Structure 1
């Protein structure tokens, strides 16, 4: 019943689409993933976040 957070990671230099679905109870894992995404390796990446709620 927890809301899910979907991350779409895109890079203009390579066709990279990464979808990560994490429940709110795993927010620590989400923060870890976000830290990796924000690292210099993904410096040129675009990050779009969307909240999905169950129906």
Structure 2
């Protein structure tokens, strides 16, 4: 028995989902780096709010 053929629309949705996940990880990473950098530069006085 052979595996089913890939559906082009299904493949496109997987690519969109992958891009969404990558974007989310980058946004979250950017927030964490910014928060840590501000905390370091202000000696712990500055609290940046998460945009999400």
Q: Same fold per TM (> 0.5)?
A: no
Q: TM-score range by the shorter chain?
A: 0.3 to 0.5
TM-score (norm 1): 0.34
TM-score (norm 2): 0.36
Higher relative contact order (CA closer than 8 Å, sequence separation 6+): 1
Q: Which has the higher helix share?
A: 2
In our comparison, the structure showing a higher alpha carbon Rg is: 2
